[in-house]
Structure 1
Amino acid sequence: MGMGGTMGEAEPTVRIAMWSGPRNISTAMMRSFENRPDTAVWDEPFYAAYLAMTGIVHPMNDEILAAHETDWRAVADGVLGPVPGGAHIFYQKHMTHHMIADIGRDWMDHREIRHAFLIRKPEEVVASYSAKRDEVSLADLGFLQQAEIFERVADRLGEAPVVVDGADVLADPRGVLSKLCGRLGIGFDEAMLSWPSGRRDSDGVWAAHWYHAVEASTGFAAREEREVAPLNDVGRAIAEAAKPAYERLAAYAIR
């Protein structure tokens, strides 16, 4: 536990729900927070429940269902439950497209949870996702779900929750992460700027398919920005449909 409060008074747990769609820098952000000595992380808590409830088949489907909790209620209890290792900060990497209608959202309103939103331009997400999976739909990318969760949190808070654009993090990791931490009510730690390469015990079993780039990385600056591949007609239509939701959040992105 960190220092603070009066003698004998436990410092309140900080639970960070970071909401992102796929093919962003969400795993690198998880690495960044995990490298803090005061933080434990949870990689995509609702992934297995999402697969089990929808019947959607993803790469490594059987392995994911076998290794991870498929009951969303148990996952929600874990999100609000004891923090691994007794860490002060519990960083949860959530995927917005996992939040299907049959998964309850009341847990999002818990007083200890501080929500943040990680965004990326739709055309870049579509191009990156299409390179990893043959079929792609608007629902797969989570833009509409991200906007819904953003509005829920904003309505409860009475103001817009914190938003960061992955491109801004890559351009100025120290500056943007410092502001992000300030908005989340935690101190910035230089340890967030670099981490050892390789896989983590905290990674979901899906890491073998999706995490090759981040496993090779040692920091945000080490990731190369690739030119966006041209989209086909379907891809362009999906990106265009996602644009209003992206722009709604982008208006509040910290710079």
Structure 2
Amino acid sequence: MDSNLLFLWGTPRSMSTAFLRMMLERGDHEVYHEPFSSIVVQGRTAVGEHTATNHDQLLELLEERAADRPVFVKETTEYDYLTTGGDRIPHVGRHTFIIRDPRLVIPSHFAMNPGMVCDDIGYGHQLEIARRVREVTGVRPYVIEAEDLLIDARDAVERYCRHARIPFLESSLSWHPGNQPVWSRTEKWHRDAARSSRFTHSERTYEYTVDNNRFLYDCYWHHRPHYHVLRKWARALVPA
């Protein structure tokens, strides 16, 4: 599906904001940070000079923006957008996905949001979007593993760009640290990304993990099957 509108869907704490930071560094895309969740949380989100107050309106505005420029949208999947007005999502633009080992995602999420419920981890919602995209397009969507960005960022990003049919810009693999206006609403969640200057391992450790907390353990085993479906897709050959 040819389109200037490129989506990246990731669970919270999946390094998706670092990926967005790389896309900002490119300078050739208009970049949107979590506009669907902004509608869920605050009832609105800005798209250019306009404001969207529901998911369908947001999609229409993004399509309009992408009519004459490349647009990149990063979104997290703690919410179920498909059944809350976003049923047209799989039909609009091109969809890619980023995954990270839930053993790392879950403790990080819990440290930021101790009141979370298990569904907030987001792998189930992420997989459902991916499955719907496959149904609509007939092609398994592209899935990138966050761990590959830490092993060899150049190779992982180059492969992503080749699939997305956008130029690979090696200069985008490093950047100046600092907060970005695009993520101001959720700034506290992005301190690692703000401190970073490239894709890098976090040195942070957590008091509660899937190994010492029963709630996190149960969340891990709930989401693990969804993660492994997407990981299998990430390791399969996806037609470009």
TM-score tier after normalising by the smaller chain length:
0.7 to 0.9
Q: Is the 8 A contact 1:50 1:99 kept in 2?
A: no
Which residue of structure 1 lines up, in the alignment, with residue 142 of structure 2? 162
Which residue of structure 2 lines up, in the alignment, with residue 44 of structure 1? 34
Q: 1:1-255 counterparts in 2 under 5 A? A: 14-51=4-41, 69-83=52-66, 88-100=69-81, 101-110=83-92, 113-207=93-187, 209-221=188-200, 223-226=201-204, 230-231=209-210, 232-253=213-234
Q: Is the 8 A contact 1:162 1:254 kept in 2?
A: no
Q: Is the 8 A contact 2:54 2:85 kept in 1?
A: no
Residue 151 and residue 70 in structure 1: after superposition, are their counterparts in 2 closer, same or farther (change >3 A)?
Answer: same
Greater shift in the superposed pair: 158-167 or 197-206: 197-206
User: Aligned partner of 2:90: which letter?
Assistant: M
Q: Partners in 2 of 1:81 and 1:149 — Cα distance?
A: 22
Q: Partners in 1 of 2:235 and 2:19 — Cα distance?
A: 15
Q: Partners in 2 of 1:211 and 1:191 — Cα distance?
A: 22
Shift of 1:83: 4.7
Shift of 1:156: 2.1
Shift of 1:157: 2.3
Residue 224 and residue 196 in structure 1: after superposition, are their counterparts in 2 closer, same or farther (change >3 A)?
Answer: same
User: Aligned partner of 1:211: which letter?
Assistant: H
Q: Partners in 1 of 2:3 and 2:225 — Cα distance?
A: 35
User: Aligned partner of 1:163: which letter?
Assistant: V
For normalisation by structure 2, the TM-score amounts to 0.85
Q: Is the 8 A contact 1:123 1:236 kept in 2?
A: no
Greater Rg, structure 1 or structure 2? 1
Q: How many residues align?
A: 224
Q: Is the 8 A contact 1:19 1:95 kept in 2?
A: yes
Q: Partners in 2 of 1:137 and 1:165 — Cα distance?
A: 24
Q: Is the 8 A contact 2:192 2:202 kept in 1?
A: no
Q: Partners in 1 of 2:115 and 2:33 — Cα distance?
A: 24
Q: Partners in 1 of 2:3 and 2:96 — Cα distance?
A: 16
Q: Partners in 1 of 2:195 and 2:73 — Cα distance?
A: 22
Structure 1, unmatched stretches of 5+, are 1-11, 54-67
Please provide the CA RMSD for this pair: 2.2
Shift of 1:52: 5.1
SS at match of 1:220: coil
Shift of 1:176: 0.5
Structure 2, unmatched stretches of 5+, are 44-50
Greater shift in the superposed pair: 135-144 or 74-83: 74-83
Q: Partners in 2 of 1:246 and 1:121 — Cα distance?
A: 8
Shift of 1:191: 2.4
Shift of 1:155: 1.6
Q: Is the 8 A contact 2:3 2:94 kept in 1?
A: no
For normalisation by structure 1, the TM-score amounts to 0.80
SS at match of 2:182: coil
Q: Partners in 1 of 2:173 and 2:195 — Cα distance?
A: 15
Q: Is the 8 A contact 1:120 1:165 kept in 2?
A: yes
Q: Partners in 1 of 2:77 and 2:189 — Cα distance?
A: 17
